[in-house]
């Protein structure tokens, strides 16, 4: 904190980073307060006050108060005496522009601030503030040079070195009907103004305290209503309309518009019109009506985040309080009433829409506790009331809809026409009792309850239900359902009609899994420690093993088994096209060694003391370790990933994906007719393709490949050439005799195109 006093001359005065008092006295002074809330007095003369944002856009110069600021005054021809006392504020920093400028009359003082613009993030712009004591808005002006009179003005924006007529302030007692000059910023007064912009002009019009009607006409306009009951009309173009306190009407008209009444206490009407519009009334307390109109629109009355200020995140303890109506209209719309305590109506209209009235889920403080109605309308819609505590009604309408039900409210759901999907799940801590569900196959309706919460549904073709840590009774629908046991308890699961999928992953297991399956009755069970799942009418399983010794048996369908967490596991895929996934790279202390017997369709995967013995597995997905792994595929289409280390990958039969990862890797082939394997990350600088002399034939002998046995092109050109790399396509071929008229070359691998492949990239064993 410092008291700094200048002289009667032209002084340059620099404050500290604390709250300073600086007086320039007479003369044309330059005063910079720096950081801190400073009190600045220019004294007589043409003084310049410098206000800066730091180069990293983090810190401002605080709130500066100027006690004797000299304005240009009303009119366009100030006297010489006025000009001799005109002061200037020089703003320096990103975002400190005329378009962002806000001028607010607060009693006898004029407050100068800047607004963060949508889609542009300047961290400190909203913190900039300069107060002009005993100063009227109408006296703040920039005037261009006319005749012998020089340009004179009160503000220099970022990057400017001379005064430009970039904004205009109306006199306090005048009500203009047109802004007059194109592409300029205009500040109205506290009267009730009815003013239009100009066609083909990007106008900025700022209302104050009156009930204003502002029509931007064509152009990309920015209209701010200020206090009062305002009507803002964007006209053609991509416009931004901002309401404040009061009951506002915002009409975007044609173009991709932003309409914003965030934190409003009034009852507002927002109409987007044609175009892809964003309508926002977050954290408001009035009853708002938002109409998106044609186009792909975003509509929000959430207590969460702002479309207009995309980096803003509200304190979720202050939700939207009103009863809001959001109407998307035609197009693919997003309607958001999350973190709201009002009774909201969300209408998607035509198009593939997303409707959300979600709320508290354990991470935030504000629930959505109103009774909401969500109607998707035509199209493939997404309706979400997850964690809403109200009694909600959801209707999918026509189309293939996705509906997320609440686990804390009482919902009534009608999927409508189409192939509709209902999801019911939550964090395990949200439940106090197990789930009980029922389904009537004749009426295509069902019920899901847990404790005092209830979901009643009909016209749902697919279900996803996740169980709890308690004893659950879960019944599927007529469609292809996905059902999960949750995380404990003794559960009973009946998939019902359809191709149903059972998920089992118990992260809290203290013993290994033991599963059984009766292929005749399609009844099975999965047990780990004290928890058990009894299931029937399940066509596919997805079982994740534990870190203990697991015994896992698949079903009659196409199952997925993950055995990547340790222990000595025994896995039988059973009937069907089954996938085994293995990737214990986080816990591995030694390399992977795997083997496979193509005749018995059985194999094993070992890393250190952990081992998986498997059979009846048609596909493998194995991820290697940080060591030098030896990974062998099955008879199917496998995905083998080496990871770190110098790995050897053998795909075997099938069209396999071989990914070496970092390190110097070897890709092994037993024969040219076992499928076409993809080598997406093969490095020609140091990696090898290993081929079997016995499996390939063609006179190959162990050791390095001869230069005469390799060529780059589309086919062999001599009877010595065996391997052909097509540099244009990346295809790798084998020709048994190098003769197009004899043996037809066979593609056995797909590499990237344009590699500098040579005979040195091959080794014969």
Q: What is the 3-state secondary structure (H, E, C) of 298-331?
A: EEECCCCECCCCCCCECCCCCCECCCCEEECCCC
Given a cut of 60, whether residue 367 has pLDDT beyond it is: no
pLDDT at 243 over 90: yes
> Is there a domain that residue 190 lies in?
no
Q: Which residue has the higher pLDDT, 298 or 119?
A: 298
Asked if the structure places residue 12 within a domain, the reply is: yes
Residue 654 lies in a domain: no
Instruction: Find the range with the poorest average confidence among 121-135, 262-276, 381-395.
Output: 121-135
pLDDT band for 95, please (50, 70, 90 cuts): confident
The token duo for 646 is 């110098």
SS (H, E, C) 477-495: CCCCCEEECCCCCEEEEEC
26 occurs within a structural domain: yes
Give per-residue pLDDT as tens, 441-462: 999 999 999 888 899 999 999 9
Under DSSP, the state recorded for 440 is E
| Cα–Cα distance, 281 to 298 (Å, whole number) | 11
Average pLDDT over residues 399-411: 91
Task: Give 600-659 pLDDT, tens digit per residue.
Answer: 999 999 988 889 999 999 999 999 999 999 999 999 999 999 999 999 999 999 999 999
- Which pLDDT band holds residue 507 (cuts at 50, 70, 90)? confident
Instruction: Count structural domains, the chain.
Output: 2
In a domain? residue 131: yes
- Radius of gyration over every alpha carbon of the chain, rounded to an integer in angstroms: 36
Across 576-580, average pLDDT: 96
287 token code pair: 């009853």
Of 97, 123, 156, which marks where a domain is finished? 156
Query: Is residue 523 a contact partner of residue 555, using CB atoms and an 8 Å limit?
Result: no
pLDDT-derived band at 592, boundaries 50, 70, 90: very high
DSSP 8-state class, residue 138: G
Q: What is the pLDDT of residue 429?
A: 54
Last residue of a domain, one of 156, 189, 205: 156
Largest Cα span, the chain: 105
Q: What is the mean pLDDT of the chain?
A: 91
- Convert the pLDDT of each residue in 187-199 to its tens digit: 999 999 999 999 9
Residue 398 confidence class, pLDDT cut points 50, 70, 90:
very high
User: How many whole angstroms separate alpha carbon 158 and alpha carbon 120?
Assistant: 16
* Percent of the chain's residues with pLDDT above 70: 93
CATH number at residue 28: 2.150.10.10
Can you give the pTM of this predicted structure? 0.79
Q: How confident is the model at residue 57 (pLDDT cuts 50, 70, 90)?
A: low
What span, in angstroms and rounded, lies between the C-alpha atoms of 443 and 447?
12
Residue 655 lies in a domain: no
Is 525 a domain residue?
no
Residue 115 sits in which domain range?
3-156
Task: Name residue 667's beta-bridge partners.
Answer: 649, 689
Lowest mean pLDDT, pick from 27-41, 166-180, 189-203, 612-626: 166-180
Q: What is the DSSP letter of 117?
A: P
DSSP single-letter state for residue 150: P
Residue where one domain finishes, among candidates 119, 141, 156? 156
Residue 369 pLDDT greater than 70, yes or no: no
In a domain, 753, yes or no: yes
What is the C-alpha separation between 577 and 634, in angstroms, rounded? 12
């Amino acid at each position: 904190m410092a008291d700094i006093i200048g002289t009667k001359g032209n002084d340059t005065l620099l404050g500290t980073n604390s709250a300073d008092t600086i007086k320039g006295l007479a003369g044309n002074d330059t005063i910079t307060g720096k950081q801190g809330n400073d009190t600045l007095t220019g004294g007589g003369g043409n003084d310049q006050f410098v206000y800066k944002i730091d180069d990293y856009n983090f810190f401002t110069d605080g709130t500066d108060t100027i006690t004797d600021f000299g304005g240009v005054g009303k009119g366009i021809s100030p006297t010489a005496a006025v000009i001799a006392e005109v002061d200037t504020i020089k703003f320096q920093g990103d975002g400190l522009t005329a378009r962002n400028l806000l001028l607010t009359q607060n009693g006898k003082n004029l407050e100068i601030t800047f607004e963060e613009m949508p889609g542009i993030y300047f961290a400190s712009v909203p913190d900039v503030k300069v107060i002009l004591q005993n100063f009227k808005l109408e006296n703040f002006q920039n005037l261009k040079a006319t005749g012998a009179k020089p340009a004179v003005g009160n503000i220099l924006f970022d990057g400017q070195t001379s005064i430009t007529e970039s904004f205009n302030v109306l006199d306090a007692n005048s009500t203009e009907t047109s802004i007059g000059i194109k592409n300029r910023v205009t500040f109205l007064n506290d009267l009730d103004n009815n003013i239009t912009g100009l066609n083909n002009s990007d106008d900025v019009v700022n209302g104050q305290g009156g009930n204003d009607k502002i029509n931007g006409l064509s152009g990309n306009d920015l209209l701010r209503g200020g206090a009062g009951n305002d009507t803002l009309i964007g006209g053609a173009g991509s416009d931004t309309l901002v309401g404040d306190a009061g009951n506002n009407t915002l009409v975007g008209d044609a173009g991709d518009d932003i309409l914003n009444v965030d934190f409003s206490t009034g009852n507002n009407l927002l109409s987007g019109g044609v175009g892809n519009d964003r309508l926002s009334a977050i954290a408001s307390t009035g009853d708002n009506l938002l109409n998106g109109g044609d186009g792909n629109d975003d509509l929000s009355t959430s207590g969460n985040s702002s479309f207009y200020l995309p980096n803003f995140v509200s304190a979720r303890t202050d939700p939207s309080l009103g009863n809001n109506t959001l109407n998307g209209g035609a197009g693919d719309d997003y309607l958001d009433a999350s973190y709201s305590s009002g009774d909201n109506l969300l209408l998607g209209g035509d198009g593939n829409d997303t409707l959300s009235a979600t709320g508290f889920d354990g991470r935030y403080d504000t629930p959505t506790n109103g009774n909401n109605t969500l109607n998707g309308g035509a199209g493939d819609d997404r309706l979400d009331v997850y964690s809403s505590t109200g009694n909600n009604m959801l209707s999918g309408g026509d189309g293939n809809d996705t509906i997320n039900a609440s686990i804390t409210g009482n919902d009534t759901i009608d999927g409508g026409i189409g192939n509709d999907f209902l999801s019911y799940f939550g964090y395990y801590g949200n439940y106090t009792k197990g789930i009980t569900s029922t389904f009537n196959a004749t009426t295509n309706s069902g019920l899901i309850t847990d404790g005092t919460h209830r979901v009643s549904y009909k016209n749902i073709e697919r279900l996803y239900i996740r169980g709890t840590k308690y004893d659950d009774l879960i019944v599927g629908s007529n469609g292809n359902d996905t059902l999960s046991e949750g995380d404990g308890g003794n559960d009973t699961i009946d998939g019902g009609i359809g191709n149903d999928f059972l998920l089992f992953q118990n992260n809290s297991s203290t013993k290994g899994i033991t599963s059984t399956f009766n292929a005749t009755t399609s009844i099975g069970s999965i047990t780990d420690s004290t928890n058990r799942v009894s299931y029937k009418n399940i066509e596919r399983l997805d079982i994740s093993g534990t870190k203990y010794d697991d015994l896992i048996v698949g079903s009659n369908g196409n199952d997925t088994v993950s055995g990547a967490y340790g222990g000595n596991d025994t896995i039988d895929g059973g009937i069907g096209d089954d996938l085994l996934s293995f990737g214990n790279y986080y816990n591995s202390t030694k390399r992977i060694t795997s083997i496979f017997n193509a005749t018995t369709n059985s194999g094993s995967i070992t890393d250190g003391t952990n081992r998986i013995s498997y059979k009846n597995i048609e596909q493998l997905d194995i991820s290697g370790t940080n060591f030098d792994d030896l990974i062998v595929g099955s008879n199917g289409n496998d995905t083998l990933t080496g990871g770190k280390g110098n790995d050897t990958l053998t795909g075997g039969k099938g069209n396999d994906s071989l990914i070496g990862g970092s390190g110097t890797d070897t890709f092994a082939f037993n024969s040219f007719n076992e499928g076409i394997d993809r080598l997406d990350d093969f490095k020609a600088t140091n990696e090898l393709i290993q081929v079997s002399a016995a499996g390939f034939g063609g006179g190959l002998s162990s050791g390095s490949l001869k230069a005469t046995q390799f060529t780059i092109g589309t086919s062999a050109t001599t009877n010595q050439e065996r391997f052909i790399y097509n540099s244009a396509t990346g295809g790798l071929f084998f020709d048994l005799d190098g003769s197009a008229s004899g043996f037809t070359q066979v593609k056995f691998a797909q590499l990237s195109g344009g590699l500098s492949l040579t005979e040195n990239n091959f080794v014969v064993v």
